[in-house]
Amino acid sequence: MTMSIDEKLGVDKIIVDEENAHIIIDKQYSDDAEKRKLIKICPAGLYKMEEDGGGNLTFDYIGCLECGACRAISLGKVVSGWNHPAGAMGVEYRMG
Ligand code: SF4
């Protein structure tokens, strides 16, 4: 039986560190092109533009797959801090 990506991700387990966000974004960062890159690249869809037309980016680290893509393209820009979650926290892949 072949599983889709969504089905595989659906069986992963994520233990959320409610006390410490492992990714911090700069909400004052003003370059919309950089924000759009994050919206496109995040496989978990955690970066979103607010629908009020104000160009504000929203981000929630809960559900992060720890792929590092946002770090690779935006650390020092929109992404102001990126660390792995503390030990035993974060994503646990179950289907490779
Ligand atoms: S590390 Fe990957 S999954 Fe997590 S927020 Fe960044 S791009 Fe999204």
Domain ranges of the chain: 5-92
| Centre of ligand 1 from the C-alpha of residue 52, in Å | 24
Q: Are 70 and 42 in contact (CB under 8 A)?
A: yes
What CATH number has the domain spanning 5-92? 3.30.70.20
- The proportion of the chain whose per-residue pLDDT surpasses 90, expressed as a percent, equals 80
| Centre of ligand 1 from the C-alpha of residue 70, in Å | 6
pTM of the model: 0.90
Q: What is the dihedral of CA 67, 73, 76, 78, to 10 degrees?
A: -90
Helix or strand or coil: residue 66? coil
For the stretch 72-88, pLDDT in tens is 999 999 999 999 999 99
| Cβ–ligand 1 contact at 10 (below 6 Å) | no
Check residue 82 and give left, alpha or beta (phi > 0: left; psi -120 to 50: alpha).
beta
How far apart, in whole angstroms, are the C-alpha atoms of residue 75 and residue 69?
10
For the stretch 35-73, pLDDT in tens is 999 999 999 999 999 988 888 999 999 999 999 999 999
